[in-house]
Amino acid sequence: MKKLALHWQILLGMALGVVFALVLTNFSWGDDFIGDWIKPFGTIFINALKLIAVPLILASLIKGVSDLKDISSLSQMGLRTILTYVITTVIAVSIGLGVVNVVKPGATIGEDTRDELVEAYGGDAELKRQDAQRQKEAGPLQALVDLVPENIIGASGDNRNMLQVIFFAIFFGIGLILIPEKTAQPVKDFFDGFNEVILKMIDLIMLAAPYGVFALLAALVVEAPSADLFAALGMYALCVVLGLALMIGVYILLVWTFTRHTPSSFLSGIGPAQLLAFSTSSSAATLPVTMERVEEHLGVKREVTSFVLPIGATINMDGTSLYQAVAAVFIAQAFGMDLSLGAQLGIIATATLASIGSAAVPGAGMVMLVIVLAQAGIPEAGLALIFAVDRPLDMCRTTVNVTGDAAVSMMVAKSQGKLGVPHVKDWDDNYPKNKEE
């Protein structure tokens, strides 16, 4: 495999994992064998990626903020980053609403299928509803309270607390900017070295990526719901995938317009991160690889990647927002509800805000969907309608989330004069020969 590019190795691992699982499912012992002897290696691979997510954010973000030299540079980059993320999220939700209103997949759900799905997944839907209810009861300013950790060691112990870790890292970096440079230099040198060690660990973990995704895809095949349920929800899944594909087209257009990078250079540069996001369904787990690809293969300076990408992995969930819009309208259609324009505008606003609170871990978007459904007055029991195909769609929307993070980082870097020639060029001659600025 060493002669193949990384993205081809990952694709080969995914394909072999699916074929391997399909072959073994023909034997009575096949499912148990994959669950006992193959799936654990996929879990180990994801855990290894998650293991370095918090150290990576701390090291890279502290280094990135402290390298900005002054607070005005930080505030300028932060404002552009947040504004761009919000704009792309609104675009994503609007695309989702447009697709689902044109295709109307809810009309394909019959009463018998609806009852079967509610019975099969009603328990899971109730758990998500309870989680969302706890969030709604917390109060309007609870998000601000949750932003500031009472104990950074405790916050670092859970990847769901990424925003708290980011807050501490930015706060720490600001402190380094404000103290005398001579005093700050030893601390900065430590985090420079720490960051290099983490990046080397990423390289080592990625050597196992093809084998990790082999195990993940093999386990997914044997754990998938029945084909009958997939057929009943085929039109809904098609709407989500179509919307996500259109959103990737929007990213390509934005990158080409603002940075002049061709579609081939952008997609080949971020390709391995996309494939890993598809396999793991976790933006947080993919973050180390996303940062490496954007910096080394797309030419974004480290001070930008270390700031924009960790924030994006936490608050920029364009794929999740698009899926929430499609799911909400689909469930309404399945229950015979006709959503007004006002209700759908409310979905845009709620899905945009809910995406900021979505954890960068598998399945978190389902909890946020409950809030979107409640705002639009859609029955929350409808969650059971979409559980059957949520896992593969979660993989697809995570891919879009990661692609959006990369696209925004390139646009912010260009606006800051921080987009240069990549260290590694692994695409064709269409790559724009822009010089370091």
How many domains in the chain?
A: 1
Task: Return d(Cα 359, Cα 401) in angstroms, integer.
Answer: 12
Residue 165 lies in a domain: yes
Q: What pLDDT sits at residue 174? A: 87
Spans in the chain with pLDDT lower than 70? 1-3, 7, 68-70, 73, 108-140, 143, 159-160, 162-163, 224-233, 336, 353-368, 370-371, 374-375, 379-385, 387-388, 421-437
Quote the DSSP letter at residue 300: B
Residue 429 lies in a domain: no
Q: What pLDDT sits at residue 388? A: 61
Residue 421 lies in a domain: no
Residue 349 lies in a domain: yes
Q: What pLDDT sits at residue 434? A: 42
Q: What is the pLDDT of residues 247-299, one digit of tens each?
A: 999 999 999 999 989 999 999 999 999 999 998 888 878 888 999 999 989 99
Q: Which domain holds residue 55?
A: 6-415
Residue 134 lies in a domain: yes
Residue 420 lies in a domain: no
Q: What pLDDT sits at residue 426? A: 47
Task: Return d(Cα 136, Cα 246) in angstroms, integer.
Answer: 32
Cβ atoms of 126 and 383 within 8 Å: the answer is: no
> Rg of the Cα trace of the chain?
22
Q: What pLDDT sits at residue 267? A: 93
Q: What pLDDT sits at residue 1? A: 47
Residue 26 lies in a domain: yes
Task: Return d(Cα 432, Cα 419) in angstroms, integer.
Answer: 12
Cβ atoms of 14 and 279 within 8 Å: the answer is: yes
* CATH number of the domain residue 327 falls in: 1.10.3860.10
Burial degree of 318 (CB within 10 A; 0-12, 13-18, 19+): buried
Burial degree of 26 (CB within 10 A; 0-12, 13-18, 19+): exposed
Residue 233 lies in a domain: yes
